[in-house]
């Protein structure tokens, strides 16, 4: 992981190269946490690009700006190409001469040899910027599933790019305007979608897309589409054979992620199935010690210590952990949002912000995590909920069918049988919906929509003609209707929460805040593509989620972890702020004065929220919607203050 940034002039606008270099230098300075070791910058009369490097492969190499085509192609890579060794050998056979042993160097020669088709030859996590002086264009490329970030701004004559939007803060002539559409997406999908960011005219390169910018303007194209259509499912596939294939694929995905490193690699261990499997396989593959990193919570509602301990009691690893209290959540929330570079809907990134600090202090630069398994193997409750709703919709009047929700959410008191009539009315609208595309996610999205009443009049006005659900629908792939029910649900997760929150606000941005790179073996392309072909019951078997994964690794998992059902990783929210908001930055950022200055939310609603915070003192559970409203509003004001105008 590194930070990359640069500026490219099109239409032969020659500017002062010292100024271009100054822009790059300043942007990289803002990304120094991503790459604290070496900064390389190259500048010509037309462009400047650079990299702040976190050295992981080929530590001796001191210059990570590479060239191809006799210097006509110059490029920087943030991330890792895990299959670089085979690609490199092939290129050497074709006569290409490498000057380093870095994985990144293959990119330029591959581009020279294969053109843009090369992107699909990569198995990795990457954000790439290529300046092509043969075709006079800049190319910005992002990995298949959005693990590594890449943002850009184009004003018609200059294109700026940066690994994080905070880089643009260093350039005064890039306007910093709040994007109301992004907030509207957050209130609906819990994240932004597509190429949207919270700053107007600053875009992210979408996962599995590249952006080409030249004298003709900006062109964004998908180089890859995950096909989850029904016809791809191999119904005749044997369960035991599938287990062997899953074992082989995951083991290799972990192996190449361990081998693509000249520094010590650790793992994040949550106590769930996914990270336990990753840690077990790592331990089996690594001959030397393995350090694990875990989060404990003082609030037992969120704590998974007993599972972590059951794992550690039978696995020889060096375990490290942090204990997260309510105070830690409140004290670190501002910094976490500053690094996330966008408002969020939960506090769960905060413990991971602290965890990467711990890993960094233990001299760990690379961790493997269990992220991605819940999408690929259908671990989330939303897959089960979809199944229950489909079953219930066949006989909507059935009381018994709706009671399955209690089985699904045993921890929530409002799913008790006595509240059945109200739960039914809550789900009824979505239950009978004929929206085949968004059936799985309608309940979630529609639950957030009423919160838009919190918008200020100005905010309401700016989104009055904007329908983010319609916009999102227009971005669906042509064959989406042919996707299986669960496949649609998976696709929607992989377009919204996965890149927009889990891999970014909770993933890359939190680990890179302390110079740690997270690697995600479950999102190895081979695994994602293989699982897309599996029968649904291999993934969700009755009510057992990630069935094939559990069964494949049953013998290496502690019994308590093998049989535990999915516990969503979350952290204390309103209850934490209830304890410590008074007299803190929270009170100020939610004050009438600040709310008025930012102009995003209605003052009376923010007042109600503050009241709810005060009332949540000592309460064990509060409404999900109130939690979300509070975290969204507070993080929006923090973001506004850090990125737009100090409040």
- Residue 5 lies near other proteins (rule: CB under 8 A): no
User: Which one of the spans 57-65, 264-272, 310-318, 446-454 is the region binding other proteins (CB under 8 A)?
Assistant: 446-454
Would you say 178 or 187 has its CB closer to other proteins? 187
DSSP secondary-structure letter at 369?
-
Would you say 454 or 548 has its CB closer to other proteins? 454
Euclidean distance between CA atoms 523 and 463, whole angstroms: 35
- Shortest distance (Å) from residue 425 CB to other proteins: 5
Would you say 21 or 184 has its CB closer to other proteins? 184
Q: Is 186 in contact with 179 (CB distance < 8 Å)?
A: no
- Shortest distance (Å) from residue 302 CB to other proteins: 17
Count of residues binding other proteins (CB under 8 A)? 34
Which residues 137-196 are close enough to bind other proteins by CB under 8 A?
Answer: none
Euclidean distance between CA atoms 45 and 20, whole angstroms: 8
- Residue 410 lies near other proteins (rule: CB under 8 A): no
- Shortest distance (Å) from residue 454 CB to other proteins: 6
Degrees (nearest 5) of the Cα angle 548, 379, 550?
30
Of 19, 59, 234, 453, the residue at the interface with other proteins (CB under 8 A) is 453
Would you say 235 or 425 has its CB closer to other proteins? 425
Euclidean distance between CA atoms 273 and 204, whole angstroms: 32
CA-based end-to-end distance of the chain: 32
Euclidean distance between CA atoms 550 and 274, whole angstroms: 9
Q: Is 252 in contact with 45 (CB distance < 8 Å)?
A: no
- Residue 447 lies near other proteins (rule: CB under 8 A): yes
User: Which one of the spans 169-177, 264-272, 342-350, 414-422 is the region binding other proteins (CB under 8 A)?
Assistant: 414-422
Q: Is 164 in contact with 149 (CB distance < 8 Å)?
A: yes
- Shortest distance (Å) from residue 605 CB to other proteins: 5
Would you say 400 or 418 has its CB closer to other proteins? 418
- Please name the residue ranges forming H helices in 43-153: 84-93, 106-114
With a CB cutoff of 8 Å and minimum separation 6, the contacts of 309 are none
- Shortest distance (Å) from residue 622 CB to other proteins: 8
Euclidean distance between CA atoms 638 and 415, whole angstroms: 34
- Shortest distance (Å) from residue 333 CB to other proteins: 20
- Shortest distance (Å) from residue 578 CB to other proteins: 15
- Shortest distance (Å) from residue 267 CB to other proteins: 35
- Residue 426 lies near other proteins (rule: CB under 8 A): yes
161, two tokens? 């790019």
- Residue 421 lies near other proteins (rule: CB under 8 A): yes
Would you say 335 or 446 has its CB closer to other proteins? 446
- Residue 413 lies near other proteins (rule: CB under 8 A): yes
User: Which one of the spans 71-79, 157-165, 441-449, 581-589 is the region binding other proteins (CB under 8 A)?
Assistant: 441-449
Of 96, 412, 580, 585, the residue at the interface with other proteins (CB under 8 A) is 412
Q: How are strands ordered across the β-sheet holding 158-162?
A: 38-43, 47-53, 2-9, 158-162, 151-154, 202-204
- Shortest distance (Å) from residue 626 CB to other proteins: 7
- Residue 422 lies near other proteins (rule: CB under 8 A): yes
Euclidean distance between CA atoms 411 and 626, whole angstroms: 18
Euclidean distance between CA atoms 462 and 460, whole angstroms: 6
Which residues 593-632 are close enough to bind other proteins by CB under 8 A?
Answer: 605, 608-609, 611-612, 621-626, 629
- Shortest distance (Å) from residue 348 CB to other proteins: 19
Euclidean distance between CA atoms 242 and 538, whole angstroms: 9
The residues pairing with 295 across neighbouring beta strands, listed in sequence order, are 322
Of 451, 476, 533, 556, the residue at the interface with other proteins (CB under 8 A) is 451
> Mask: binding to other proteins, 360-399, rule CB under 8 A, as x and -?
----------------------------------------
- Shortest distance (Å) from residue 610 CB to other proteins: 11
430, two tokens? 């979505």
Using DSSP, state whether 66 is helix, strand or coil.
strand
Would you say 296 or 419 has its CB closer to other proteins? 419
Euclidean distance between CA atoms 16 and 44, whole angstroms: 9
The 3-state secondary structure of 579-643, one letter per residue? HHCCCCHHHHHCCHHHHHHHCCECHHHHHHHHHHHHHCCCCCCCCHHHHHHHHHHHHHHHHHHHH
For tokens 């209690």, name the residue.
406
Which residues 264-323 are close enough to bind other proteins by CB under 8 A?
Answer: none
Of 26, 243, 247, 420, the residue at the interface with other proteins (CB under 8 A) is 420
Would you say 482 or 624 has its CB closer to other proteins? 624
Of 222, 237, 449, 560, the residue at the interface with other proteins (CB under 8 A) is 449
Of 96, 223, 321, 419, the residue at the interface with other proteins (CB under 8 A) is 419
- Residue 236 lies near other proteins (rule: CB under 8 A): no
Would you say 318 or 421 has its CB closer to other proteins? 421
Would you say 117 or 416 has its CB closer to other proteins? 416
Euclidean distance between CA atoms 88 and 146, whole angstroms: 24
Of 305, 360, 428, 566, the residue at the interface with other proteins (CB under 8 A) is 428
Phi, psi of 540 (to 5 degrees): -115, 105
Euclidean distance between CA atoms 495 and 194, whole angstroms: 8
User: Which one of the spans 60-68, 444-452, 564-572, 575-583 is the region binding other proteins (CB under 8 A)?
Assistant: 444-452
Q: Is 577 in contact with 307 (CB distance < 8 Å)?
A: no
Degrees (nearest 5) of the Cα angle 274, 354, 559?
25
Would you say 143 or 626 has its CB closer to other proteins? 626
Of 425, 468, 457, nearest in space to 183 by CA: 468
Sign of CA dihedral 13, 14, 19, 21: positive
- Residue 243 lies near other proteins (rule: CB under 8 A): no
Binding site for other proteins (CB under 8 A): 412-415, 417-423, 425-426, 428-429, 446-447, 449-451, 453-454, 605, 608-609, 611-612, 621-626, 629
């Amino acid at each position: 992981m590194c930070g990359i940034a640069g500026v490219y002039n099109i239409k032969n606008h020659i500017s002062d190269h010292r100024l271009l270099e100054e822009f790059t230098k300043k942007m990289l300075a803002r990304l120094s946490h991503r790459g604290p070791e070496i900064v390389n910058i190259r500048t010509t009369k037309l462009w400047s690009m650079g990299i702040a490097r976190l050295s992981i492969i080929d530590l001796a190499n001191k210059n990570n700006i590479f060239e191809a085509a006799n210097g006509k192609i110059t490029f920087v890579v943030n991330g890792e190409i895990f299959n670089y060794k085979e690609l490199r050998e092939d290129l050497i056979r074709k006569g290409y001469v490498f000057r380093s042993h870095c994985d990144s160097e293959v990119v330029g020669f591959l581009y020279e040899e294969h053109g843009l088709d090369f992107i699909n030859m990569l198995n990795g996590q990457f954000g790439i910027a290529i300046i092509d002086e043969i075709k006079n264009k800049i190319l910005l490329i992002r990995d298949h599933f959005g693990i590594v970030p890449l943002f850009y701004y184009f004003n018609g004559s200059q294109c700026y790019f940066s690994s994080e939007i905070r880089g643009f803060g260093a350039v005064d002539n890039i306007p910093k305007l709040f994007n109301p559409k992004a907030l509207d997406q957050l209130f609906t999908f819990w994240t932004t979608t597509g190429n949207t960011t919270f700053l107007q005219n600053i875009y992210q390169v979408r996962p599995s897309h590249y952006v080409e910018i030249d004298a003709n303007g900006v062109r964004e194209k998908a180089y890859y589409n995950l096909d989850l259509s029904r016809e791809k499912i191999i119904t005749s596939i044997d369960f035991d054979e599938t287990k062997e294939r899953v074992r082989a694929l995951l083991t290799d995905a972990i192996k190449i992620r361990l081998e693509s490193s000249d520094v010590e690699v650790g793992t994040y261990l949550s106590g769930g199935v996914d990270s336990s499997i990753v840690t077990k396989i790592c331990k089996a593959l690594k001959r030397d010690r393995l350090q694990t990193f875990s989060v404990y919570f003082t609030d037992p509602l969120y704590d998974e210590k007993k599972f972590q301990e059951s794992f550690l009691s039978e696995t020889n690893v060096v375990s490290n952990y942090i204990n997260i209290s309510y105070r830690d959540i409140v004290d670190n929330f501002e910094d976490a949002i500053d690094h996330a570079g966008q408002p969020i809907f939960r506090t769960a990134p905060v413990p991971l912000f602290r965890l990467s600090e711990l890993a960094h202090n233990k001299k760990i630069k690379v961790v493997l995590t269990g992220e991605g398994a819940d999408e690929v193997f259908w671990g989330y409750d939303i897959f089960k909920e979809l199944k229950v709703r489909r079953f219930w919709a066949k006989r909507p009047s059935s009381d018994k069918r709706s009671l399955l929700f209690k089985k699904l959410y045993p921890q929530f008191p409002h799913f008790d049988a006595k509240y059945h009539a109200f739960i039914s009315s809550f789900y009824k609208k979505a239950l009978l919906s004929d929206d085949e595309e968004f059936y799985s996610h309608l309940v979630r999205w529609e639950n957030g929509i009423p919160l838009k009443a919190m918008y200020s009049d100005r905010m309401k006005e700016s989104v009055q003609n904007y329908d983010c659900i319609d916009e999102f629908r227009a971005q669906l792939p042509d064959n989406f209707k042919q996707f299986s029910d669960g496949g649609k649900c998976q696709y929607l997760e992989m377009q919204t929460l996965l890149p927009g929150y889990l891999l970014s606000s909770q993933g890359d941005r939190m680990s890179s805040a302390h110079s740690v790179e997270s690697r995600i073996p479950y999102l190895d392309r081979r695994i994602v593509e293989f699982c897309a072909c599996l029968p649904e019951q291999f993934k969700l078997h009755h009510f057992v989620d990630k069935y094939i994964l559990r069964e494949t690794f049953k013998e290496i998992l502690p019994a308590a972890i093998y049989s535990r059902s999915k516990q969503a990783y979350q952290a204390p929210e309103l209850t934490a702020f209830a304890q410590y908001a008074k007299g803190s930055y929270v009170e100020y950022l939610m004050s009438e004065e600040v709310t008025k200055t930012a102009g995003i939310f209605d003052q009376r609603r923010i007042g109600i929220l503050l009241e709810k915070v005060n009332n949540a003192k000592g309460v064990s559970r509060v409404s999900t919607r109130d939690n979300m409203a509070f975290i969204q509003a507070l993080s929006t004001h923090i973001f506004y203050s850090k990125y737009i105008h100090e409040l």
